[in-house]
Structure 1
Amino acid sequence: MTKKSYKNRIFALILLIALLAGIFILTPARNLLDLKSLLANKDRLLESVQDHYLPAVLIYIFLYMAVVALSIPGATAVTLTGGLLFGPFLSVLYINIGATAGATILFMAARYFFGEMIQKKYSEKLAKFNKEMEENGRNYLLTLRLIPVLPFFLVNLFPGLTNIPLRTFIWTTSLGIIPGSFAYAYLGYAGSTIQAGQGIPIQLILAMGFLGIISLIPVGLKHLKKSRSDSSHNHN
């Protein structure tokens, strides 16, 4: 990579960051991160979404994309907001589009600025690793999406340093984030149904139960792996 080419890439990255940051500064998107304010103005916001549905959807998708691409803490709040504003099902579609686009931007940035250089410089040392990723990379990525044992931004960043194809990264991300997205979107929807003086709605109980099941998956897999390991040792 020539010095001029690298400078062009840095300039492109700065423009991209500026564009995404502008979403927060120049649009009402940043207000969607404040759950307390959203709940206080829920009825007015829902009416506004109904009156201006397409602009609301586009703002929401671009917000989610920016939060993920810039690795800004707040993806959970935006997911809950989606469930509140768009319902538990359509919001998952909008979340998926925004999150997958944002993750892909970060993936491509990592590959564009560092991945190509690393792969070229250490091609011989990475040969065995690259072969493993070529054969099983999609399984690793899908597992890390379904079972979030690593921070979301790391699972977006590290694959860009490997030779995993872009299409593989996109479909594993899109598919793998659906269960968790639905759980939090449904929780946001369920929380919005609470009325003063009434009991806890069944939707909220179901949402919490679903989240509980998802959170137990890593623990269950850990115990399953340990059980298989113990069984293997006993047979030997």
Structure 2
Amino acid sequence: MTEMPANPSASPWRKLPFLLILLVAGLGAFLLRDQLSFAQLAEHRDALLALRDQHPMGAALGFVLAYVLIVGFSLPGATVATLTGGFLFGLFPGVVYNVVAATLGAVAIFAAARMGFGDRFVAKLQESGGQVARLQAGLRENEWSVLFLMRLVPVVPFFMANLIPAFLGVRLHRFVISTALGIIPGALVFTSVGSGLGAVFDRGETPDLGVIFAPQVLLPMLGLAALAALPMLLRFWRRAG
């Protein structure tokens, strides 16, 4: 009789979903680079609007599914997808569709990485001790703050912001909550830009994505980031005192 593996979590099959994501992401970077673009959205805008008007529910579901696949497989075009949500469905419910789809896609990456590598990586960190273990303990202690900061201040690429929590043993519900809430400010900005794309298309221009750096947008986002970091800073001051 064939013996079962001593550690089922070490089964190579558990790595397959994450490896598949990496493979599709690599292929997509070359094959879809020019397909999921603003130019393509401008070219097919009439067909997309007609589809939305004829099949509103199907268009909404199809859009969310496509967005989930783009994020879940780390394909190029996530920003264009967010703009498309605003263009097709307006600020509301477009922002809802964008946030839900981006969160589901992020959860897919998180779950695949956690299942394939996360648990073993966390165990190795705990066994290593020393500075690495102390760093992990510090991150765990300030988990909510770190998770929200990674979403509110997009210094860490979105793909890496999905992997790091998986490799550090973050609980799924904390990842979902911080992702869904943390991406809302940025989603509101880009969905709002997308909702005005009709006029941009008519002028033959491209959308100004630099609007996110405008003071009236950037300062409130930095304020939210400071609020997210406050618990972490308070712990540091108490210990320093």
TM-score under structure 1 length normalisation: 0.73
Question: 3-state DSSP class of the match of 1:39?
Answer: helix
Three-state SS of the structure 1 residue aligned to 2:196 is: helix
CA distance in 1, matches of 2:59, 2:107: 23
TM-fit CA distance, 1:66: 1.4
- Which of 127, 134, 145 pairs up with 1:128? 134
Is the Cα–Cα contact under 8 Å of residues 39 and 192 in structure 1 kept in the other structure? no
Tell me if 1:170 matches 2:176: yes
Q: Deviations over 1:8-63 (max 9, x none)?
A: 21345567789x89xx9xxxxx9982432332343332121021112211221111
| 149 and 100 in structure 1: CA distance in 2 versus 1, 3 angstrom threshold | same
Where does residue 90 of structure 1 map in the other structure? Answer: 93
User: Which residue does 1:46 correspond to in 2?
Assistant: 49
1: CA distance between counterparts of 2:48 and 2:140? 46
Does the 8 Å CA contact 1:83/1:187 hold for their aligned counterparts?
A: yes
> What is the aligned residue count?
211
CA–CA separation in structure 2 for the residues paired with 1:51 and 1:5: 49
Q: Report the counterpart of residue 77 of structure 1 in structure 2.
A: 80
**C-alpha distance in 2, partners of 1:85/1:61?**
12
Give the match's secondary structure for 2:214: helix
Q: Distance in 2 between matches of 1:51 and 1:152?
A: 34
Give the gaps of 5 or more residues in structure 1: 25-29, 223-236
Greater displacement, 124-133 / 171-180: 124-133
Contact 1:68-1:75 at 8 Å conserved across structures: yes
Structure 1 residues 115 and 11: CA distance shift in structure 2, 3 A:
closer
Q: Deviations over 1:154-189 (max 9, x none)?
A: 111111011221111100000010111111111111
1:110-189 correspondence to structure 2 within 5 Å: 110-124=113-127, 125=129, 127-189=133-195
Q: Is the 8 A contact 1:34 1:77 kept in 2?
A: yes
Separation of aligned partners in 2, 1:57 and 1:15: 27
Select between 3-12 and 33-42 the one with higher mean Cα deviation: 3-12
Would you say 1:192 and 2:198 are equivalent positions?
Answer: yes
Letter of the structure 2 residue corresponding to residue 212 of structure 1: A
Q: Quote the offset at 1:195 in angstroms.
A: 7.1
Greater relative contact order, per chain length (Cα 8 Å cut-off, separation 6+) = 2
Change (3 A) 1:131 1:112: same
Query: Partner residue of 1:6?
Result: 11
- Whether contact under 8 Å (1:83, 1:185) holds in the other structure is yes
- Contact kept, 8 Å, 1:110 with 1:158, in 2: the verdict is no
Which runs of 5 or more residues in structure 2 are unaligned? 1-5, 227-241
Secondary structure of the corresponding residue to residue 11 of structure 2: helix
